Structure 1
Amino acid sequence: MELITIILSGILIGSSVYMMLSKSIIRIIIGTALLSHGVHLMLLTMGRLKQGNVPVLDPEVSSYTDPLPQALILTAIVIAFALTSYILVLALRMYRELGTDNVEEMKGVPHDD
């Protein structure tokens, strides 16, 4: 199970890097969101996936799951949502002001036609 999540995390991070290298601001935002999901899967995998164990330390339970990776992922999800919302608002504002979502045109780089 851990191998599948590692491979999926690598695919998500690889595709996010590819999307973040494009010229469209919307692709950059989607790439940022994909990168956060890939990091969430990596954090989950680093905490070792154990099935059937509870994340609560109880004297009756002999083995339990470490709750720290779950808490880190919950915090990272909230931060990633806030970052994505902020970037979307900035992209909308830039599109309304400049009329384009191309990063090269926003910088004023001339076209080679």
Structure 2
Amino acid sequence: MELITIILAGILMGAAAYLMLSKNLIRIIFGTAIFSHGVHLMFLTMGELKRGAVPVLDENVEAYADPLPQALILTAIVIAFALTAIILVLALRIYKELGTNDIEKMKGDPYAD
């Protein structure tokens, strides 16, 4: 199961790298969002699937599940969502001001198509 998850994370990160290398601002934003999802899958895979009881101290339980990977992933999801929302608002503002979402035209390159 970990192999499938790590392959999926690699595919997501590869697609994200392809999107982030484009000149379109919206593709770059989607690339960062997809990249963060790939990182979340990697965190989940690195945390391993451990079977056990709820991590509450009890005398009858011998093995506890580790809650740290899930807590880290939840925090990372919230941060990635907030970052994506802020970047989308900034992209909308840039588009309203400059009238384009092409990175080369934003820099003022006269040879950009």
TM-score (norm 2): 0.92
Q: Return the offset for 1:61.
A: 2.0
Partner of 1:47: 47
d(CA) in 2 for partners of 1:7, 1:102:
32
d(CA) in 2 for partners of 1:34, 1:54:
32
Specify every segment of 5 or more residues in structure 1 that has no aligned partner in the other structure, as ranges.
Answer: none
1:1-80 map, 5 Å: 1-50=1-50, 52-58=51-57, 59-80=59-80
Q: 1:112 to 1:47 in 2, by over 3 A?
A: closer
Question: RMSD of aligned C-alpha atoms?
Answer: 1.4
Specify every segment of 5 or more residues in structure 2 that has no aligned partner in the other structure, as ranges.
Answer: none
d(CA) in 2 for partners of 1:18, 1:55:
40
Amino acid at match of 2:15: S
d(CA) in 1 for partners of 2:105, 2:112:
12
Structure 1 residue runs of 4+, over 4 Å off?
Answer: none
Partner of 1:96: 96
Any idea what the Cα deviations from partners look like across 1:3-58, whole Å, max 9, x if unmatched? Answer: 000000001111101100000000000000001100000000010023x5334143
Amino acid at match of 2:42: M
SS at match of 1:61: coil
d(CA) in 2 for partners of 1:92, 1:54:
47
TM-score (norm 1): 0.92
Identity percentage over the alignment? 68
Q: Return the offset for 1:63.
A: 1.9
- Checking the alignment, whether the CA contact within 8 Å between 2:105 and 2:112 is kept in structure 1 is no
Any idea what the Cα deviations from partners look like across 1:43-97, whole Å, max 9, x if unmatched? Answer: 00010023x5334143322222211110000100110011000000000000000
